[in-house]
Structure 1
């Protein structure tokens, strides 16, 4: 059934304050804000919810009881089947996959390992969907009263006041992280794996205003994607430097591994020197090259033969307080495959896990201080026509039950040093730490 009605109008205002205004309005219990390619989408309320754990995929339609079905085989395909079965024409879905979703993918699961616990994916088909870009605003809603209220809010004057941020010290617990890096280097030198990303958490000593943090942080960052979400008690605001995978409705596939990092934003001369060092450092070049090679191998598993290639090899992408080596890996989806197959083929991102993936995941589960949750998972949008866009969850603020934190990692290879990898985490955390807004 088709349940949506659209209304559009022109808007000359900066989209960001409009987006934040809708997030603050209290209209939606759950919502996802997703920015991609110059367009912001606010997906509010749940016309339908699809979630997945290690055993079941659960579907809830508004006003109806939850339906739980045991799934087998591919977890990404289980999500696809659940979405395709919804009685909603022209649906779009928004939500997240946690990093531990990787523990459900057969090719990555070590023999004898336990299945990850808890909810590992959650998607909503929104009741109301607002798209804002330079051409104007489109409001798409299944609720007439909600559509009217959203239109009213969007046409009201925007509050010009930007909230004040509180800086966070990102250098806490350096010694513990250095010790874990040293252990990983030993394991790499013993041939257990080639590369692993180890992360560390920085606690925020107050509750964060997530919408305010998103507004201030977005103005201070240059992300590939940005997002703000509140779903079932989980909150996050992030400025993703990297696309895990994009698949359009015609089956064109793109992934963009970023590996190799130096600081950015310290002045023209310092930035140029850091860039030159990044482009010539053997450790950084090796880390990037093996990531690109692995990304090609992953796409070849789901793309037509001969279509996988690399564009803009080892270009530079500036993302907030850091600059990265970046390459585009592209292909054309095999006719027997779906965008969800492509997502599962590249998940978790090589640049947030390691090489080989199975062995690096084992190392992460042993050496990372806590389970990652949403960190280094994905925030994504998916559509009934097969299109899918998944952003890597990095450079983000996380909050649950009033507790907020930051998290960042670094890629460890045989030539890594604990001190340099700790500094890299500080550089990455500095893309977010200055922009955290304290809740009133």
Structure 2
């Protein structure tokens, strides 16, 4: 059935390929490009671009000394538990989700690659509850809510009376800026957007004054409810129901003044050493995060890697104490076992989509410093089979075992039983992908979240047979301290 209005056209169809070809044809090219010599403060410039009104939605994504800024939607893909909706220039196509859940996303990128003059990128996020669609966990449709507080239920999202929300949201930017040392490249769908971005980049700018810190106590929320939930998970593990679950808790940030996410991002990045960082406003979510690891890194040609981090100790200003804690971490049977379980599952998941014999552990049990904590870290790599692509790798690895547990389906069920409500973006991924076959997905941890009128932090700990509730609660506090001291607020007008 097709319904037309004077401003838009909505199509509901079961034919993926035809609908996505029509959508791709509506997505405008970005033929307007320029390169600029850039000697200023790249981070200040990137934040300035997204706060200047360049375009909405936006994603700022930092990786490997590059800052990517994407703004404005030339095309949009949104997936719920039942449908994929593709939008571009007033047209909207709604497709049923059948078979492999992310197959329509692969088809959308393939359709886009056939009509775009060059490689086209997309940016977005996957909510943690996409896991239930990928793994069939829990026996019910996923729903997204805003945490009501430290524990005890959740509040349905405003404007979503069904309780269901988008599980995946990606947009093809109208303007994209990549800042590398000494240079900025800009591509846009129109000369106006190109000129606007170039003008903002070349205008004199200073880093935003972040304002005074308004630290949050990492122990806020409901500590006793969390300890009780940890004890229940330990009981399930000892009863043989699962091996590991990453149980999380929330810390609300509601107060007299709203959190300033761009200023918090600048302050937090100065104090953290993330694998990736991001600042976004997309699909009803706003977030500033300092991701400690990647869910998947795929490059054209088929190489794919994942970077599980599991096993944690605090990181302080005292080198001697850090050395002692590092040695303790490497010698702790619980932490080593937790890490080994995560690496084993990552190998198994990659093995399902990679060529036989290509999966290997390239790095095992290195120690990585991430802000207020140090982690055991490994890297698992493989080469995709000829009949598999980057979105297949993402589907196999998502959600990260280090934010879920093992076995994954049983861990997801435990999280539904014992956490304070759906996670939403926490434990999900911020994603950049392109039509050439690249995909980079950062695990969403160490992040400030805003949805509607509520703002919060969230952190978890890996629960094993030998865990204790007090230690796991303290681990969540250690992780929260990567962000909690750096919260900045805007004065109310």
TM-score, normalised via structure 2 length: 0.87
> Is the 2:243–2:405 Cα contact (8 Å) retained in structure 1?
yes
RMSD: 1.3
Are 2:185 and 1:138 equivalent residues in the alignment? yes
Would the alpha carbon gap of residues 77 and 113 (structure 1) be closer, same or farther in structure 2, given more than 3 Å must change? same
The alpha carbon displacement at 1:115 in A equals 4.7
Which SS does the other structure have where 1:99 is aligned?
A: coil
> Is the 2:373–2:482 Cα contact (8 Å) retained in structure 1?
yes
| Alignment correspondent of 1:97 | 126
| Partner Cα distance (2:197, 2:81) in 1 | 37
Query: What does 1:353-364 align with in structure 2 at a 5 Å threshold?
Result: 353-364=404-415
| Alignment correspondent of 1:167 | 215
Query: What does 1:238-249 align with in structure 2 at a 5 Å threshold?
Result: 238-249=289-300
> Is the 2:215–2:487 Cα contact (8 Å) retained in structure 1?
yes
Query: What does 1:149-188 align with in structure 2 at a 5 Å threshold?
Result: 149-164=196-211, 165-172=213-220, 173-188=222-237
Are 2:98 and 1:72 equivalent residues in the alignment? yes
> Is the 2:342–2:406 Cα contact (8 Å) retained in structure 1?
yes
Moved more, 318-327 or 227-236: 227-236
Which SS does the other structure have where 1:85 is aligned?
A: helix
| Partner Cα distance (2:431, 2:65) in 1 | 16
| Alignment correspondent of 1:378 | 429
> Is the 1:222–1:320 Cα contact (8 Å) retained in structure 2?
yes
The alpha carbon displacement at 1:161 in A equals 4.4
Identify unmatched segments of 5+ residues in structure 1: none
The alpha carbon displacement at 1:114 in A equals 3.5
Per-residue CA deviations over 1:94-141 (Å, capped at 9, x if unaligned) read: 000000001111xx2147434543210100000000000114100111
| Partner Cα distance (2:327, 2:138) in 1 | 44
| Partner Cα distance (1:115, 1:227) in 2 | 25
| Alignment correspondent of 1:209 | 260
The alpha carbon displacement at 1:169 in A equals 1.2
| Partner Cα distance (1:78, 1:439) in 2 | 41
Would the alpha carbon gap of residues 59 and 151 (structure 1) be closer, same or farther in structure 2, given more than 3 Å must change? same
Query: What does 1:163-312 align with in structure 2 at a 5 Å threshold?
Result: 163-164=210-211, 165-172=213-220, 173-206=222-255, 207-312=258-363
| Partner Cα distance (2:454, 2:142) in 1 | 26
| Alignment correspondent of 1:124 | 171
The alpha carbon displacement at 1:14 in A equals 2.6
| Alignment correspondent of 1:37 | 64
| Partner Cα distance (1:110, 1:42) in 2 | 35
| Alignment correspondent of 2:38 | 11
The alpha carbon displacement at 1:252 in A equals 0.5
> Is the 1:76–1:343 Cα contact (8 Å) retained in structure 2?
no
Per-residue CA deviations over 1:339-375 (Å, capped at 9, x if unaligned) read: 0000000010000000000000000011111100000
| Partner Cα distance (1:253, 1:303) in 2 | 9
Which of 463, 470, 476 is matched with 1:425 structurally?
A: 476
> Is the 2:58–2:71 Cα contact (8 Å) retained in structure 1?
yes
Which SS does the other structure have where 1:373 is aligned?
A: coil
Which SS does the other structure have where 1:75 is aligned?
A: coil
- How many residues matched? 437
Would the alpha carbon gap of residues 292 and 359 (structure 1) be closer, same or farther in structure 2, given more than 3 Å must change? same
| Partner Cα distance (1:2, 1:113) in 2 | 40
